[in-house]
């Protein structure tokens, strides 16, 4: 049944354009004329406005982070940004993409800039800024589709694509060849020509850059491609080599995860203290000040944690090249990075999902926010008590660490590299795990 659905000519386009309609509706609800600045600064609009709520409570933490671990790259299959790109690509100017940018440099810069802009301008507190954010997420793929001959936006520019690709390595849902022998006997393999991302669907795993566009499945004459269930975290044992750009990207994810996990805790300020001290030498309120804080929190601190296994092996004379070893060990940090992001996502969901009845009655959220700010309406009660939230997040943190440690142990055992390789990596895995638990102190 699923295979028949995926082979339909109108799939996944109908879902993509439906979600594009949702995005346009969110743009409409983000426009609140003459909203007082004091109401924005009260931060109640962050959860009483439909656009803010769906973007920062449901979409980013839920659909992107949690869904990718549960179901892999399913979001990329139905992403409305890809529909926008493909629509404009039909009338592309056909320009050649610069060779110097055929790496992750644009993606890394956009991802870091996106995070710093969020911090500096409080994007998630103002519906108008959230609307601009959504608009930018639609304009960028439109520009790439219109300008360039190749379909490179999702693979080389979209930060969410790489985030989902890395987290999907933990997913029990895998996509690929059903029977290798059937595939080997098939010629001339039309599935290869149908892949817009130039991947080889014949491989046991198409890879973390697969967009799940299912064009290869539609082109397969043997119906030999599809989904299957495997043990969770098995994708971390795939052995694919990581580039330096992917290691840097994971460092930023780990930094964001630690930052998210400690939100609202006094330890958040202590962890960012070095970056804050350096930033204090710059003008108060300047954008550059936020950039410096971001460099510490999202690159320097997590980068040092990722480099720790290599440094420990270097101390005992068992280390190879830094980039080679970082590429081999960074994948084990993916479950730990997910745990930190889950902490923030679960907190938001349990605290703010009870706002939903107000959103249905007042999607712009202005009247609800005014009533709450004036004390005329109570704040909605959290869905879960603090003790239940703490128990769930601690369980996820523990499971993520144990899962990463088990995969690390299995990799070391199967490859025969020994304790000199696995123990330093395990020690580094424990650092962000312990940092997450500081939120409960």
Q: What is the DSSP annotation of 68-135?
A: HHHHSTHHHHH-HHHHHHHHHHTT---BPPPGGGSSSHHHHHHHHHHHHHHHHHTGGG-HHHHHHHHH
Between CA 239 and CA 241 the distance in angstroms is: 6
Task: Indicate the average pLDDT of the chain.
Answer: 85
What is the Cα 13 distance to its own chain's centre? Answer: 23
Last residue of a domain, one of 153, 168, 183: 168
pLDDT, tens only, 127-173: 888 999 999 999 999 999 999 987 778 877 887 888 888 898 899 98
Report the candidate in 97, 90, 89 with the shortest Cα–Cα distance to residue 145: 89
| 363 and 217 inside one domain | no
Q: Residue 403: inside a domain, yes or no?
A: yes
Torsional sign, CA 302, 306, 309, 315: negative
CA angle 434/436/438 to nearest 5° reads: 75
Last residue of a domain, one of 206, 229, 252: 229
Between CA 117 and CA 294 the distance in angstroms is: 10
Q: Residue 59: inside a domain, yes or no?
A: yes
| In the chain, % of residues over pLDDT 70 | 96
How many independent structural domains does the chain possess?
3
| 431 and 326 inside one domain | yes
In 398-420, which positions are buried (b, 16+ CB within 10 angstroms) versus exposed (e)? eebbebbbebbeebbeeeeeeee
| 82 and 154 inside one domain | yes
Show Cβ contacts of residue 143 under 8 Å, excluding neighbours closer than 6 positions.
88
Q: Residue 213: inside a domain, yes or no?
A: yes
pLDDT at 335: 94
| 86 and 187 inside one domain | no
The pLDDT-based confidence of 356 (bands split at 50, 70, 90) is confident
pLDDT mean over 243-269: 85
Q: Residue 152: inside a domain, yes or no?
A: yes
| 118 and 196 inside one domain | no
C-alpha pair distances (Å), 149 with each of 114, 142, 153, 275: 26, 13, 11, 42
Q: Residue 77: inside a domain, yes or no?
A: yes
pLDDT, tens only, 365-419: 888 888 888 888 888 888 888 899 899 999 999 999 999 999 998 888 877 776 7
Asked whether the beta carbons of 379 and 205 are under 8 A apart, the reply is no
| 273 and 334 inside one domain | yes
| 308 and 402 inside one domain | yes
| 213 and 274 inside one domain | no
Q: Residue 237: inside a domain, yes or no?
A: no
Q: Residue 367: inside a domain, yes or no?
A: yes
| 98 and 206 inside one domain | no
| 164 and 177 inside one domain | no
The pLDDT-based confidence of 338 (bands split at 50, 70, 90) is very high
Domain containing residue 81: 2-168
The pLDDT-based confidence of 363 (bands split at 50, 70, 90) is very high
The domain that holds 193 is classified in CATH as 3.30.70.20
| 432 and 302 inside one domain | yes
Q: Residue 234: inside a domain, yes or no?
A: no
| 64 and 207 inside one domain | no
Show Cβ contacts of residue 429 under 8 Å, excluding neighbours closer than 6 positions.
332, 333, 336, 401, 404, 405, 408
The pLDDT-based confidence of 251 (bands split at 50, 70, 90) is very high
Last residue of a domain, one of 168, 185, 216: 168
pLDDT, tens only, 266-324: 777 788 888 888 888 888 888 999 999 999 999 999 999 999 988 888 887 776 778 77
pLDDT mean over 37-41: 75
pLDDT at 142: 95
In this structure, the number of other CB atoms found within 10 A of the CB of residue 134 comes to 20
């Amino acid at each position: 049944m699923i295979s028949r659905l995926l082979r339909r000519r109108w799939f996944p386009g109908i879902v993509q354009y439906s979600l594009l309609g949702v995005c346009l509706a969110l743009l409409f609800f983000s426009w609140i004329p003459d909203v007082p600045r004091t109401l924005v600064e009260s931060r109640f609009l962050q959860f009483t406005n439909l656009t803010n709520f769906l973007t920062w409570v449901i979409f980013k933490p839920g659909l992107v982070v949690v869904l990718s671990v549960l179901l892999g790259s399913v979001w990329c299959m139905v992403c409305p940004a890809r529909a926008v790109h493909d629509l404009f690509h039909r009338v592309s100017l056909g320009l050649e993409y610069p060779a110097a940018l055929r790496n992750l440099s644009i993606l890394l810069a956009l991802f870091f800039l996106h995070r710093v802009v969020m911090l500096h301008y409080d994007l998630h507190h103002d519906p108008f800024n959230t609307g601009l954010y959504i608009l930018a997420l639609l304009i960028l793929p439109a520009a790439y589709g219109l300008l360039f001959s190749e379909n490179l936006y999702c693979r080389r520019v979209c930060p969410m694509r790489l985030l989902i690709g890395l987290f999907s390595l933990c997913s029990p849902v895998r996509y690929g060849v059903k029977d290798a022998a059937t595939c080997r006997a098939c010629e001339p393999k039309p599935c290869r020509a149908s892949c817009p991302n130039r991947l080889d669907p014949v491989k046991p795993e198409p890879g973390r850059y697969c967009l799940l566009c299912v064009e290869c499945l539609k082109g397969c004459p043997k119906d030999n491609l599809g989904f299957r269930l495997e043990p969770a975290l098995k994708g971390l044992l795939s052995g694919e080599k990581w580039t330096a750009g992917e290691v840097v990207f994971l460092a930023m994810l780990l930094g964001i995860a630690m930052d998210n996990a400690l939100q609202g805790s006094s330890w958040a300020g202590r962890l960012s203290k070095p970056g804050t001290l350096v930033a204090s030498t710059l003008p108060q309120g300047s954008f550059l000040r936020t950039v410096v804080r971001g460099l510490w929190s999202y690159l320097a601190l997590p980068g040092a944690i990722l480099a720790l296994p290599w440094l420990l092996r270097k101390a005992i004379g068992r280390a190879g090249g830094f980039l080679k070893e970082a590429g081999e060990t960074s994948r084990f940090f993916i479950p730990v990075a997910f745990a930190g992001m889950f902490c923030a996502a679960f907190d938001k969901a349990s605290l703010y999902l009870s706002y939903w009845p107000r959103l249905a009655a007042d999607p712009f959220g202005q009247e609800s926010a005014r009533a709450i700010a004036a004390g005329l309406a109570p704040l909605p009660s959290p869905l879960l008590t603090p003790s239940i939230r703490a128990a769930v997040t601690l369980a996820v943190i523990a499971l993520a660490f144990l899962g990463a440690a088990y995969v690390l142990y299995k990799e070391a055992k199967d490859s025969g590299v020994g304790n000199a390789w696995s123990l330093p990596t395990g020690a580094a895995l424990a650092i962000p795990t312990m940092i997450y638990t500081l939120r409960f102190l």
